[in-house]
Amino acid sequence: MAVTRAIEDAARRVGRDPASVRVIAVSKTVAPDRILAAAAAGFNAFGENRVQERQAKTEATAAVAASWHLIGPLQSNKARRAVELFDVIETVDSLELAERLGRIAGELRPGNRLSVLLQVNVDEDAAKAGFDPAALERDLPAILDLPGLAVDGLMTVGRLVETPELARPTFVALRTLAERLRTSHPGLGPALSMGMSEDYPIAVEEGATMVRIGRAIFGARPSVV
Ligand SMILES: *Cc1c(COP(=O)(O)O)cnc(C)c1O
Distances, alpha carbon 189 to alpha carbons 118, 144, 152, 216, in Å: 10, 10, 4, 28
Is residue 130 helix, strand or coil?
Answer: coil
Could you give the percent of the chain with pLDDT greater than 90?
A: 93
How far does residue 200's CA lie from ligand 1's centre (Å)? Answer: 11
The Cα–Cα gap between 225 and 211 comes to 22
All structural domains of the chain, each given as residue ranges with its CATH number in brackets, are: 2-218 (3.20.20.10)
pLDDT at 222 (0 to 100): 87
Query: By mean pLDDT, which of 105-109, 122-126, 141-145 is the weakest?
Result: 122-126
Using CB atoms within 10 A of its CB, is residue 200 exposed (0-12), middle (13-18) or buried (19+)? buried
Distances, alpha carbon 177 to alpha carbons 136, 154, 167, in Å: 10, 9, 16
Q: Is the distance from CB of 90 to CB of 115 less than 8 angstroms?
A: no
Q: Does position 224 have pLDDT exceeding 70, yes or no?
A: no
Q: Cβ(80) to ligand 1 under 6 A?
A: no
Q: What's this model's pTM, rounded to 2 decimal places? A: 0.97
Q: Cβ(157) to ligand 1 under 6 A?
A: yes
The Cα–Cα gap between 182 and 215 comes to 33
